[in-house]
Amino acid sequence: MNLTVREVSKIETARIFKSVAGYTGFHGMNALEVFRKALRELSERHAQELPRKLTEIEDLWRIVVDAGGARDGLVQVQRLAHGLDVASSMLGLPDLSSPARRLARTLAAGLAAGADFTAVDRDRVDELLAELRRAASSLSTVVPLPAPVSEAPAEMTPPGSPSSLPAAAAVTADPATLPRRAPPRDPAASFADLPAPPVTIEGERRLVYILESGEEAATNLAGQLSRFGYEARILETATALVDALSERQPYAMLVDVDLAGDSFHAAQAIASVSNAAIARVPLLLLSSRTDVQARLESVRAGAVAYFSKPLRIGELVDKLDSLASRETPEPYRVMIVDSDNNRADLCRAILHEVGMEVSVVRSPADLVAALGDFNPELLLIALKLPECGGDEIAQVVHQIPSYVSLPVVFLSEHWNLDRQIGLMNVGGDALLPLPLQASQLISTVIARVERYRTLSALMQHDSLTGLLNHSRLQQYLEIEGLRAVRQSHPLAFAMIDIDHFKLVNDQFGHPVGDRILKNLARFLRQQLRKSDIVGRYGGEEFAIILTDTDGPAAIAVMEKLCSDFSRLEHEVDGATLTVAFSAGVASMSGRQSARELVLAADRALYAAKRAGRNRVVLAPDESQQQA
């Protein structure tokens, strides 16, 4: 099938429109569709379980009646009715939740009266059980989903007011396809055996097809990309590229449009591939032309980026990385603090169904320790807890420097203005009224986490490199250090210093120095696991927290990074420059604090400098030093 460049442009325009309309995943569904699908599946499972649950309640109630109103039996029936109410309310099934709630309250009143049920009380329970049966028999297995609206969830407003109902359309990401935390490093493994990002399938580098007119330039470009974690395949002709696209779909393709002397000959050849293949693979174009007409032609050919020669590797990798960030956002991490097991478990199931990572804390006494292990991005706290108030435990969390800005959403059966103002004063971000609606829960969580991530990125990251700044890196090191000691897990810390960086600034100027800092930051992000934490320590110094990694494994990682970075070429006024770095590594073995780890890594770094630079030195374990 042959397509013109303009037809290819229309196809690509449609693809871009889909991506702008919402993050796509789950076979092309956007986030709102994912949410609706998850809610529908939960409702269907709930409907399938209804006959068994109702039979269990009815059978247990008959046993209670025959036993003359035994208290233990009444407690069990009341708990089952309460669980049915919670699940039905959250799934948007009012016809079922209403009689279940009235049943639970009737039984609770009987328990409060000392389990002395009258005949009227028993008749009332029988009526409610019959109403539940009728509601269940007429229940549709498809959840009546709210219509999309454009407003974001309101801040803390009274339940029932228009602005208190979060919009389902606020779901703007598809966390269900997100990657999980990287597995612990095998201390005996070599660097080549470790996961190497970026990946499309675990352990597999992203493949980039390169169609370039110069063999030497193509080979050099492939080598540079490989050091940033991409696998490059060089193709010599447009026909070869079309054939390769038919055989295997790459992550992206870079095409030199100067090929064969025809500015867009290659782009037109790509147009002969089927529509679906073009829509899936981002096209990046490279040309010696810088005029507006050439850029217009690239847009019409459906290119997502256009680079002029000589190509700066940093700009290309930036673009490839930006495609990766849209494809694989991190999952939202939500911690639920609630002693109501039914509600907590159902909240976890609903949030997990749309791809969030969820941890449940049943007792407030366990919360502080759980925070360090899970590092949540939002707390969902019930105001009514057995040991303290939810607002009190929120204040405890906000006393900890690392969590002072952590969003808190409260759950409450009651609302009044004074209480609302009080919750705002203790750092509450939203109040969700009970019984809870699943759509309200999901949209509120996503809106608050997205805002938290945006603000955190501004406050916690270095403006030049995009890495964590010094203070935030220290906070992460404290958290990871305490976790390593508490759980007896390995942990390593590496400090990096660019060799002769002052000479680079003096000879080539600070803009070139800044470009090298950005290239190193990008290089480290690409080569390390997502569970490793990278930051700019200050000036030309960088630091890495290598989680679940002991000293020997950390040395293997850092030596490979040191060797690869020293071969990277940095563009300087049409010429190239290579730069190296030195590194010091220390492990948590025998050490009890983050401060000890930093001091040991710093001493190892200076040892690497004294030994001739462009090398990595491992600090001896504390136990070895004492011996």
C-alpha span between 96 and 106 (Å, rounded): 16
Q: Are 558 and 614 in contact (CB under 8 A)?
A: no
Distance CA 256, CA 283 (A): 11
Q: What is the structure's pLDDT at 178?
A: 30
Look at residue 378 and give its three-state secondary structure.
strand
* 8-state DSSP, 550: -
Sequence-distant (≥ 6) Cβ neighbours of residue 485 within 8 angstroms: 588, 592
Residue 502 CB burial class (10 angstroms; 0-12, 13-18, ≥19): exposed
**Residue 52: which H helix or E strand, with range?**
helix 31-66
**Cα distances (angstroms) measured from residue 204 to each of 251, 301, 514:** 11, 29, 31
The pLDDT value recorded for residue 622 is: 66
CATH of region 162-174+330-460, choose from 3.40.50.920, 3.40.50.10740, 3.40.50.2300, 3.40.190.10? 3.40.50.2300
Token pair belonging to 579: 């730069």
* pLDDT tens digit sequence for 4-34: 333 333 333 333 333 333 333 333 344 555 5
Tell me if 32 sits within 8 A of 22, measured CB to CB: yes
Question: Which homologous superfamily is 470-626 in?
Answer: Reverse transcriptase/Diguanylate cyclase domain (3.30.70.270)
**DSSP strand pairing (29-30 vs 24-25):** antiparallel
Portions of the chain given CATH number 1.20.120.160: 29-137
Pairing between strand 570-572 and 575-577? Answer: antiparallel
Domain with CATH 3.40.50.2300 in the chain: 162-174+330-460, 190-327
Strands 230-235 and 206-211: parallel
pLDDT at 78: 82
Q: What share of the chain is helix, strand, coil (3-state, %, to 5)?
A: 55, 15, 30
Which tokens is 66 given?
């025959």
Give the chain's end-to-end CA distance (angstroms, integer).
Answer: 75
Residues 6+ apart with CB under 8 A from 200: 206, 207, 251
Length of the chain equals 627
Give pLDDT, residue 287: 86
CB-based contacts of 536, cutoff 8 Å, min separation 6: 462, 464, 465, 467, 468, 469, 470, 473, 517, 521, 542, 543
The per-residue pLDDT for 549 is: 92
pLDDT at 119: 63
3-state secondary structure 248-278: CCCCEEEEECCHHHCCCHHHHHHCCCCHHHH
Q: Residue 175: its pLDDT value, please?
A: 33
> In the chain, which stretches have pLDDT less than 50?
1-30, 140-203, 260, 272-275, 627
Q: Where in the chain is the domain with CATH 3.30.70.270?
A: 470-626
pLDDT at 200 (0 to 100): 37
Are 527 and 562 contacting, i.e. CB atoms less than 8 angstroms apart?
no
The CATH architecture one would assign to domain 29-137 is Up-down Bundle (1.20)
CA distance 408 to 404: 11
Q: Are 441 and 350 in contact (CB under 8 A)?
A: yes
- 3-state SS record for 581-606: EEEEEEECCCCCCHHHHHHHHHHHHH
DSSP designation for 384: B
**What is the per-residue pLDDT for 154?**
40
For residue 232, give the H/E element and its range: strand 230-235
Q: Which fold has domain 190-327?
A: Rossmann fold (3.40.50)
